[in-house]
Amino acid sequence: MLKGIDPLLSGELLRILDDMGHGDELLLVDRNYPAASSGRPVVRLGEVSVVRAATAILSVFPLDSFIDTPLERMEVDEDPGVTTAAQDELLATAQAAEGRPLAYGVVPRLDFYQRARGVYAVVHTLDTTPYSCYILHKGVI
């Protein structure tokens, strides 16, 4: 047990987050996302919401400050202007963790699957909320 570290962050996940370098991408996804098909390492967090997982991850993971959208979300129903309540909550969580305003990059669903092949790793939750799939770009401290 480590003091000051969110208990959701397992040793495996902490190692992956630490090994990632500036600009590497982390996929954070819901239960319906085909996490293993990306071919990247998958860390399974079980029955936690994506927002809860993001809260833990963002407590140690800096988002990139050199790009406009270090946080990207899967597009909802082929409409980039539509967001879900969970997407709105995750954006607020990220802004609080970063202490700065952020805006989402929006990735069409099929493009999201393609982009997943190039990420460093995948964090898979059993969240049932549709379109709870995100790409986080690692920054520097």
Q: Which residues are identified as catalytic?
A: 22
Supply the angle between the helices 50-58 and 85-98 in degrees, to the nearest 10. 10
Contact 90, 131 (CB under 8 A): no
C-alpha pair distances (Å), 85 with each of 21, 92, 130: 31, 11, 10
Q: Residue 27: in which H helix or E strand, if any? A: strand 25-29
- Say whether 69 sits in a helix, a strand or coil: coil
